């Protein structure tokens, strides 16, 4: 589903076969507060194409994707920036997050029972333990991270060094930052339908 005003697609379990556990629709996140009034998972249509590939690649390994966050309005990014315990892990709203372009998502792998694979640190755990290729986490967790890396890069996303859960489209400058107002009826920060 898209609207004429913006290029975002609504991602759901029914349409994409993913699991959703949107951290910012609950208070269980780094900000410690509910940021999204509605648990909407939104991606730019270019990223949505890659997500479909990632879902298929994960299935080849008997896994599914569980998404923690995707498109994030500029207003939500400002709240995260103001509340972040470590700004090394949150993009300055002045610069802009790729989440705010709708081209980034945070996710992990789950097995056939829906259990999360051990990644060695929690989503949004802002520590060196969350860095790719960190040998301080177990060999199994390193292997699980590398499986997620292979799936996501195979699907067309790129990784960043400090967050095993974060993937985005390359060349993000091609995509504009999106405000909550621009999202219209798909604004997750609004409780209005």
Annotated catalytic residues are 163
For the bound state, the minimum distance from the C-beta of residue 53 to Zn ion, rounded and expressed in Å, comes to 19
Window 69 to 108, contacts with Zn ion (CB under 5 A): 106
Task: Name the region of 38 (left: φ>0; alpha: ψ -120 to 50; beta: rest).
Answer: beta
Q: 156, 150 in Cβ contact below 8 A? A: no
Is residue 44 near Zn ion by the rule CB under 5 A?
no
For the bound state, the minimum distance from the C-beta of residue 104 to Zn ion, rounded and expressed in Å, comes to 5
Residue 126: CB partners within 8 Å, gap ≥ 6?
30, 84, 85, 86, 88, 89
Q: Contact letters (x/-) for Zn ion, 131-170, by CB under 5 A?
A: -----------------------------------x----
C-beta closer to Zn ion: residue 30 or 138: 30
Q: Contact letters (x/-) for Zn ion, 52-71, by CB under 5 A?
A: --------------------
CA–CA dist 80, 47 (Å, integer): 23
Strands in 112-181 per DSSP E: 158-160, 163-168
Query: Which residues here bind Zn ion, judged by CB under 5 A?
Result: 106, 166
């Amino acid at each position: 589903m898209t609207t004429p005003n913006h290029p975002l697609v609504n991602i759901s379990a029914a349409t994409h076969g993913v699991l959703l556990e949107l951290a910012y629709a609950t208070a269980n996140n780094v900000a410690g507060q509910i940021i999204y009034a509605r648990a909407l998972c939104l991606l730019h249509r270019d990223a949505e194409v890659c997500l479909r590939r990632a879902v298929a690649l994960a299935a080849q390994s008997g896994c599914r994707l569980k998404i923690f966050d995707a498109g994030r309005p500029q207003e939500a990014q400002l709240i995260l920036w103001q509340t972040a315990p470590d700004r090394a892990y949150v993009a300055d709203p002045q610069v802009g997050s790729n989440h705010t372009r709708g081209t980034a998502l945070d996710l992990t792998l789950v097995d056939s029972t829906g259990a999360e694979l051990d990644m060695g640190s929690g989503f949004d755990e802002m520590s060196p333990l969350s860095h790719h290729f960190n040998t301080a986490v177990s060999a199994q967790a390193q292997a699980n991270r590398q499986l997620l890396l292979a799936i996501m890069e195979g699907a067309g996303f790129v990784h960043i060094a400090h967050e095993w859960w974060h993937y985005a489209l390359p060349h993000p400058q091609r995509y504009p930052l999106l405000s909550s107002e621009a999202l219209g009826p798909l604004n997750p920060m609004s409780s209005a339908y």
